[in-house]
Amino acid sequence: MKVAVIQLNAQADKKSNIAQAVDLVERAVARKAQWIALPEAFSYRGKLNRHNLSIVAEGIPGESTRPFFDLARKKKVFILAGSVCEKDQHSRKAYNTSILLDDKGRIAACYRKIHLFDAVIGKKVLKESKNFLSGRALATGKIRDFKVGLTICYDLRFPGLYQSYAALGCHALTVPSAFTRKTGQAHWEILLRARAIENLCYVLAPNQTGKDARGVASYGHSMMISPWGEVLARASGHKTEIIYGDMEMSAISQARAVLPAISN
């Protein structure tokens, strides 16, 4: 299966971001990609507070995802809508939610980010928990014969989450991200390859690049990792682009035959 991983630099203009994401997905489809993955916060990457969160947050389907429901159905492709701000009816906060769409334009899986990013990057205090609620459940979906486990960005630092997906029989793990430049330089590739190796799964990691509207720089270097921990495709650290790779069930079977770590 041909897979496309999209890297972009989303800003605070939601309509412009969505249009850019749609264009990139259509380009990937034109290159015969059968599964296309977008990064975290692909439709809005700006300042959030109580006022504008109520404007940015939306239902599912909503403004950010509806075009991809249509694209998946019309083009008969699978799409990972990296993450959007999902409105919660019972709270002023939202969920950071990733949506996997099947090739009929239906929701195959919907994952609410469990581990929220509260950190200090340089002089900037990033506190995701101020505006977002923490998810509580794993989410898996099917991409043809592949069972997929969904995660988002900061989840990458919690190996137990990925081991839980492996125990559920997953063959691929998704990590749509807005991984920062500072932490990405130190840990991005190491953690992605570790999650692939530990669980003998493909890892798809579409990342944001460049500075967002808050001035926070993302690392780029979106990647696709094999079940053996090899980097199959890698983006640059500074521009919008699409990288491509192939997923084969035989590669998973071979890796697990050599190292039956999951069964052990």
Q: Which two tokens stand for residue 60?
A: 């599912």
pLDDT of the residue at 51: 82
The predicted model scores a pTM of 0.96
pLDDT of the residue at 227: 98
Q: Which of 14, 40, 75, 201 is catalytic?
A: 40
> Which residues touch 2 (CB under 8 Å, ≥6 apart)?
31, 32, 33, 34, 35, 244, 245, 246
Enter the CATH code of domain 2-258.
3.60.110.10
Mean pLDDT, the chain cut into blocks of 10 residues (264 residues total): 98 97 98 98 92 91 98 98 96 96 98 92 82 97 98 98 97 98 97 98 98 93 98 97 98 95 84
Q: Which of 75, 110, 113, 170 is catalytic?
A: 113
Q: Is 189 part of the annotated catalytic residue set?
A: no
Helix ranges (DSSP H) in the chain:
14-30, 50-56, 66-75, 159-167, 181-199, 249-258
DSSP E strands, 71-216? 78-87, 94-101, 107-112, 118-121, 124-127, 132-133, 140-143, 146-150, 172-174, 202-205, 209-211
Residue in the block written with tokens 């990647």: 223
Q: Which of 85, 110, 153, 170 is catalytic?
A: 153
Q: Which two tokens stand for residue 145?
A: 């014969």
Q: Is 113 part of the annotated catalytic residue set?
A: yes
Is residue 175 a contact partner of residue 158, using CB atoms and an 8 Å limit? Answer: no
pLDDT of the residue at 77: 98
Name the residue among 42, 29, 142 with its Cα closest to residue 85: 42
pLDDT of the residue at 183: 95
**In whole angstroms, how large is the CA radius of gyration of the chain?**
17
Q: Is 40 part of the annotated catalytic residue set?
A: yes
Cβ-in-10-Å burial (0-12, 13-18, 19+) of 264 comes to: exposed
